[in-house]
Amino acid sequence: MKKKILLISLIVLFILVDIVFAYFFFFKKTEPLVSPQASQPAESQFSFDISPTPAPEGEFNILLLGRGDPAHEGSSLTDSLMVLHLETSNKTAALIFIPRDLWVGLKINETYTKKGFEGVEQAVGFATGLSIQNAILVDFNGFTQIINILGGVDVNVEKAFDDYYYPIAGKELDNCGKPNEELAEINAKLSGFELEKQYTCRYEHLYFDAGKTHMDGATALKFARSRHSAQSGSDFARGGRQQAILFGVKDKLISLEALKNVDKLFGKMIKLVKTDLDLETTKSIADLIINPKEYKISQIIPSEENILTPSKSPTGQFILVPKAGDGNWDDFQEFITVFKKTPDF
């Protein structure tokens, strides 16, 4: 029973980096292209009452959601979305990045706030063609604490990057000593990120060198969240960095050091997440994985470089829609199906 409890405790941990599959392995003792011109979509016909075909026996799809802390701007939005797709029949798995700006009649990162777990599961399922059975949600604070509970992780940074505009908590409204006249002038001339960049005291400079780097919770969160790097600043690059953390966590778990006190670990971690995943479902998944060493993992990142194109919502928001057209998910779903069958690891 302790092992089963530990399984669910670790399943609900690393929502931003898909640690679910890493723990399944451990539980069994294993180891930019030029974008097309944006176009205006028609009102989407998406309905939250539409669900994909139920998953075949032995197939599991768990949606992983990350959002900011209550004090963070936009904290109600789940800006990190990934799907863990697991097929026990053919011993394959996939980590599927879902862009936050994907348009399903509204931005997909808004669906949890408006429709709860059931609504966001249906929205992601409608777009991907996968039957999403459960979801798990964690915020920045939970993510940071979880990494620290494990004593930090070693992450392979694929390429070096700088981010000169990483927000410092608590300084979001700091005027940086500017006089009222200057504040009025720049606020009249600029908007959006161009305006924010004038307040340099609100930001810190991040730098990550290429290669393996040990990260505590705060550092891992910065690595996962960084948005304004010239080398690695897109949401799609961020998805890849989050998945890099996954493999660092997997190595940490395999070291056994995280499992010295199962009850204490579970007690700390289960309080840091929200989920509609129950213990019985978790046990049924774990029991089906006989030899995780045989599993192959695909990493799937739909982006403007392959299957998506930028557009604008009816209210002028930046959104992403399938290149085949707003609401036409056939090619998007085929893209996921093809890459599920070409494991990377």
State the CATH number of the domain containing residue 112.
Answer: 3.40.630.190
Total structural domains in the chain?
1
Task: Establish if 294 belongs to a structural domain.
Answer: yes
189 φ, ψ (degrees, to nearest 5): -90, -30
Task: Establish if 108 belongs to a structural domain.
Answer: yes
338's tokens: 């093809």
Query: Residue 196, exposed/middle/buried by CB under 10 A (0-12, 13-18, 19+)?
Result: middle
Which pLDDT value is given to residue 180?
Answer: 92
Which pLDDT value is given to residue 230?
Answer: 87
Task: Establish if 173 belongs to a structural domain.
Answer: no
Task: Establish if 310 belongs to a structural domain.
Answer: yes
Task: Establish if 88 belongs to a structural domain.
Answer: yes
Cβ 224 vs Cβ 17: under 8 Å: yes
Question: How many whole angstroms separate alpha carbon 237 and alpha carbon 83?
Answer: 17
- Our measurement of the distance from residue 245's CA atom to the centroid of its chain's CA atoms, rounded to an integer in Å, reads 11
Task: Establish if 163 belongs to a structural domain.
Answer: no
Domain span holding position 301: 2-151+256-340
pLDDT by residue for the chain (345 residues), tens only, comes to: 444 444 444 444 433 333 333 334 333 333 322 333 344 454 444 555 555 677 788 888 989 888 876 655 556 788 889 898 888 888 888 889 899 999 999 999 999 999 899 999 999 999 999 999 888 888 888 888 878 888 899 999 999 999 999 999 889 889 999 999 999 999 999 988 899 889 999 999 999 999 999 999 999 999 988 988 888 877 778 777 877 887 777 677 666 554 455 555 556 666 777 887 766 666 666 665 555 556 677 888 899 999 999 999 999 999 999 999 998 999 999 999 887 666 554
Q: Which amino acid is at 41?
A: P
345's tokens: 């690891």
Task: Establish if 96 belongs to a structural domain.
Answer: yes
Task: Establish if 43 belongs to a structural domain.
Answer: yes
**Helix, coil or strand: residue 19:** helix
Which pLDDT value is given to residue 112?
Answer: 92
